[in-house]
Amino acid sequence: MYKRLSVALLCSALLSLPVSCGSGSPIHSMPANGSAPVTLTMTDDPPSGVSVLFFQVSLTSATLTPAAGSGSTSLVSLVENPIQIDVTQLQALSAFLANENAPAGIYSSLSLTFANPQLVIFNSSDVSLGSSCAVGSICTLTPAIGSSATVDLTSAPFPLAVTDQTPLGLLIDFHLNSIIQSDLSVNLSAANGITLSQVPAAAAGQAPPFGIVTGTVATVSGDQFTLATPWGKTLTVDVNSNTQLVDWPPCASPGALSCLTAGDAVQVQVAAVQSDGSLLAASVKWLLVKNTQSVLGRVIGYSTTRLRLLVFASPSAVAGTAPLQGSIANVTLDSGATFAVDANGFTIPSGFSFSSALNVTWGQELQVEVDPGSVSCVASNVIPGPPPVCNFTTNSLKLEPSQLSGTIASISSPSFTIDYLWSPCAPPGGAPVCNVVALLQYSVETTSQTTYENFNPDNFSGLADNDFVSVNGWLFEADNGLLDTPVTPPEILANDIRQHPGGTF
């Protein structure tokens, strides 16, 4: 499926992925009189057609242009170092990308420049792509960026007013169904390919959708820490009594920020950008202790002793570790490997289990810890062709929320079904060849904890037949531990549900 991606700027996420520049520089400072923080965030709307499994692109610049007669002629750069964004992980989520000070005034446009797209697809067509991407295969492409790599956004919400010391958020939507062409090139200037909106003021009890950002802890002091991002920015993050500390490491003061140590990897859900440019965290999720590495990937093959994953991300607390995203990982389970659900504060109802390899199934997203020194990779030099293949061992697996998009087929409170293109792949051991795509109905289970976005009203009663929605939730196998191709697709326990107005992409 093609995707729509949203990014948020504050002055709102291409998949939500920061205020001084460079490591070692001051983290943030109060905006000078006459300026305000501007934040960039991104999200994704899924497409229909070719099955896009992974789409990564670098945002190399984002520049605000002052309006004529506004009193300023200086461009405002919101991005200084290239930011790699995985669009396919933003169907129901957003990524926090940037946060810089902009002089107060009126702005007429935002210019975005992208580079180095990487595409991993499942060839569900009836013809081979070139000589190296057979029908039913997973293949890597490096598509050309057609037209221009720079997109100038000039329509609403422009002209845009930045008010003295009042944070402003912008949300960028990246519509892959419009951008990816029939020949699998990328046309950023396609009609309705990239759009922009202003992040609305938070409703009572809700946080603005500023997205998530992952990095390593640099310093900790009181109720504040600094976060070093993979693209070389350092952010200041504040916590308060409303901040959830998730999967917190054991220490002398349980639940305290002091449990963090320099080099730990964490993921921050941004609740707000404050007037001094620092970030207020809705939640801080502890991922990894220093000198450890993990991968986040989708299950495309499994047995009782091995898994095959398509890797989306490879968070690491090991300096200089090469990223593994976009690769196929063959994972061997250590004897006694542990299995757990990463509930992230969500109460998992009884009847849903992920306690052994028998609970693994197609399409699940897993956070898999990498045994130190066990990684070996072989790259493919054929484009289009198979992705790089990496091998490693693990002693710890966590079930993470997956993101699926489809059309609501039926509703029966507290659950509903969605039509979803489903394609299980071969078990570990051979080339990643997938079965024929089938349109199946997934059962989506909701609870009182499930949140809703873009519905009217924003609760279960806002759902309607034929709505096109993205569901962020945990996949649980529904075939009692059978290791062959499942008779029925997994059940989805929904954490978040987002409606995509317009129905399809």
Q: 41 and 199 in contact (C-beta within 8 Å)? A: yes
3-state secondary structure 147-195: CCCEEEECCCCCCEEECCCCCEEEEEEEEHHHHECCCCCEECCCCCCEE
What's the CATH code, domain 212-288? Answer: 2.40.50.320
Structure tokens at 400: 């993470």
pLDDT tens digits, one per residue of 7-36: 444 433 222 222 222 333 333 333 445 677
Q: 465 and 448 in contact (C-beta within 8 Å)? A: no
Q: What is the pLDDT of residue 490?
A: 81
Which residues does the chain have with pLDDT short of 70? 1-34, 42-50, 71, 124-126, 129-132, 146-148, 200-209, 316-323, 380-385, 421-424, 426-427, 429-438, 479-488, 501-505
d(CA 158, CA 64) in angstroms, rounded, equals 11
Q: What is the pLDDT of residue 444?
A: 96
Which residue, chain included where needed, has tokens 């802890």? 217
What's the CATH code, domain 292-505? Answer: 2.40.50.140
Q: If we measure between CA atoms, which residue out of 54, 31, 18, 39 comes closest to residue 207?
A: 39
Q: Do 292-505 and 212-288 fall under one CATH topology?
A: yes
The residues, any chain, with a CB within 8 Å of residue 320's CB and separated by 6 or more, are none
**364 strand-pairing partners:** none
3-state secondary structure 260-315: CCCCCEEEEEEEEECCCCCEEEEEEEEEECCCCEEEEEEEEEECCCEEEEEEEECC
pLDDT tens digits, one per residue of 236-275: 999 999 898 988 888 877 778 989 999 898 999 898 888 8
Q: If we measure between CA atoms, which residue out of 191, 193, 181 comes closest to residue 144?
A: 181
d(CA 11, CA 168) in angstroms, rounded, equals 4
pTM: 0.76
Query: Residue 209 CA to chain centroid, in angstroms?
Result: 13
Q: What is the pLDDT of residue 18?
A: 27
| Overall residue count recorded for the chain in this entry | 505
Query: Residue 22 CA to chain centroid, in angstroms?
Result: 24
Which residue, chain included where needed, has tokens 């997205």? 211
Which residue, chain included where needed, has tokens 């070389």? 232
d(CA 7, CA 253) in angstroms, rounded, equals 36
Q: State the Cα torsion 283-288-291-297 to the nearest 10°.
A: -120
Q: What is the pLDDT of residue 499?
A: 87
Q: What is the pLDDT of residue 330?
A: 93
Task: List the chain domain ranges.
Answer: 4-198, 212-288, 292-505
Which residue, chain included where needed, has tokens 């180095």? 116
CA separation, residue 301 to residues 152, 333, 339, 431 (Å): 42, 13, 17, 11
